């Protein structure tokens, strides 16, 4: 059985919620006790990992629909167990170093546990709040916000590429693409430019006529060049990780409206997220409805703990604002 128990004591100089000024001067006692029993799966020296340890890892890190795939891989199971054993190793080192005797360490562990509980509660709250179907809300979104359900704009263009080759210098490739640019700009076809390059420099080129391609599917340098290109004119050579490119825009196509069948899955996801986000916002408003009552001298004492006695701040000017986002 694994057990974890500690008590945190902190003077209520830090503000507390929903307390009268008289009771705010009392010492705040926090206690967290955790224990569970589970069969041991693996042991290395003092470190042991149980079935529940693995369950907790999977519950926190791996989506439910992917767990079977993860557990089919002996390599992944080994990686998980090794990671958990290493965590246990550090757990024992921390115990031996007496870290759990330090009040600040206890407070950090308590805060970590309560943050995790918040995340778990929010996950459960979302699951309990979710509707069986969002088809009605999705259909309403599709009809009232049709501008959100449009296929991306696309481009059609001619593409000439001198790919990177390990046995060719960059100077050789640059001379070849400049020669191809001169030929294409002079009216030669891509086939003629490609054949000339093969004959003159021994370099192979790719020539493609591409239709209705989304810019997001192109390497950034080509997408950027096409966005400022004049139709029917070959661009200057542009370099990417693939090699040297020449492009000639032939058409720009506006995004077309999706049919309901095309948009349905997107609209359902949007409706679900909107519903769950609004539900969570209502819960947060309920939890934060009320004023924070500060213990007498709380702000001054807090600042003094960090060497700021010389700076003056009126306590009635301090209020509990929006929560500070936590780092990932």
pLDDT on residue 326: 60
pTM of the model: 0.66
- Under a CB-based contact definition with an 8 Å cutoff, are residues 148 and 138 in contact? no
Q: Per this entry, what is the length of the chain?
A: 328
Give the CA distances from residue 273 to residues 129, 130, 133, 147, 175, in Å, rounded to whole numbers and listed in that order: 11, 9, 13, 18, 53
Residue with tokens 């003056």: 312
- Number of H helices and number of E strands within the chain? 10, 10
Q: How far apart are CA 111 and CA 58, in angstroms?
A: 22
Report pLDDT for 308.
84
Q: Under a CB-based contact definition with an 8 Å cutoff, are residues 74 and 83 in contact?
A: no
Cα(150)–Cα(13) distance, integer angstroms: 55
Three-point CA angle 209, 215, 219, nearest 5°: 85
Nearest to 51 by CA among 121, 91, 1, 112: 1
Residue 225 CB burial class (10 angstroms; 0-12, 13-18, ≥19): buried
Residue-level pLDDT at 95: 93
Query: Can you tell me the distance from the alpha carbon of 328 to that of 322, in angstroms, rounded to the nearest whole number?
Result: 18
What residue spans of the chain are helical by DSSP H? Answer: 51-61, 67-71, 74-96, 103-129, 135-144, 170-185, 190-201, 220-227, 260-287, 298-305
pLDDT value at position 89? 96
pLDDT digit string (tens) for the chain, length 328 residues: 565 444 444 333 233 333 344 444 578 888 888 899 999 999 999 999 999 999 999 999 999 999 999 999 999 999 999 999 999 999 999 999 999 999 999 999 999 999 999 999 999 999 999 999 999 999 999 999 999 999 999 999 999 999 887 667 788 888 889 999 999 999 999 999 999 888 776 778 889 999 999 999 999 999 999 999 999 999 999 999 999 999 999 999 999 899 999 999 999 999 999 999 999 999 999 998 888 888 878 888 888 888 886 545 555 555 665 555 565 4
Here the tokens at position 115 are 């943050």
**Phi-psi region for residue 179, left (φ > 0), alpha (ψ -120 to 50) or beta?**
alpha
Query: What pLDDT is stored for residue 275 in this prediction?
Result: 97
């Amino acid at each position: 059985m694994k057990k974890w128990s500690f008590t945190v004591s902190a003077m209520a100089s830090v503000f507390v919620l929903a307390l009268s000024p008289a009771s705010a001067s009392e010492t705040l006692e926090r206690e967290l006790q955790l224990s569970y029993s589970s069969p041991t799966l693996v042991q290395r020296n003092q470190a042991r990992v149980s079935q529940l340890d693995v369950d907790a890892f999977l519950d926190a890190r791996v989506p439910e629909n992917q767990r079977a795939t993860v557990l089919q891989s002996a390599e992944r199971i080994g990686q998980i167990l090794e990671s958990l054993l290493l965590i246990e190793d550090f757990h024992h080192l921390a115990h031996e170093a007496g870290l759990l005797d330090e009040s600040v360490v206890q407070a950090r562990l308590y805060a970590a546990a309560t943050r995790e509980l918040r995340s778990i509660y929010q996950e459960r709250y979302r699951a309990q709040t979710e509707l069986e179907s969002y088809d009605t809300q999705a259909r309403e979104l599709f009809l009232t916000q049709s501008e959100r359900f449009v296929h991306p704009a696309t481009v059609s263009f001619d593409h000439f590429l001198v790919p990177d080759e390990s046995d060719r210098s960059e100077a050789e490739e640059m001379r070849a693409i400049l020669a191809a640019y001169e030929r294409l700009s002079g009216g030669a076809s891509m086939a003629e430019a490609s054949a000339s390059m093969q004959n003159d420099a021994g370099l192979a080129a790719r020539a493609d006529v591409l239709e209705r391609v989304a810019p997001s599917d192109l390497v950034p340098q080509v997408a950027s060049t096409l966005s400022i290109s004049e139709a029917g004119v070959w661009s200057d050579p542009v370099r990417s990780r693939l090699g040297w490119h020449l492009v000639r825009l032939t058409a720009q196509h506006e995004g077309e409206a999706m049919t309901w069948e095309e948009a349905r899955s997107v609209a359902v996801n949007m409706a679900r997220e909107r519903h769950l986000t609004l539900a969570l916002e209502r819960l947060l408003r309920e939890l934060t409805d009320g004023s924070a009552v500060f213990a007498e001298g709380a702000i001054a004492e807090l600042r003094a703990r960090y060497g700021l006695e010389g700076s003056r701040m009126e306590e009635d000017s301090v209020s509990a604002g929006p929560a500070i986002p936590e780092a990932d």
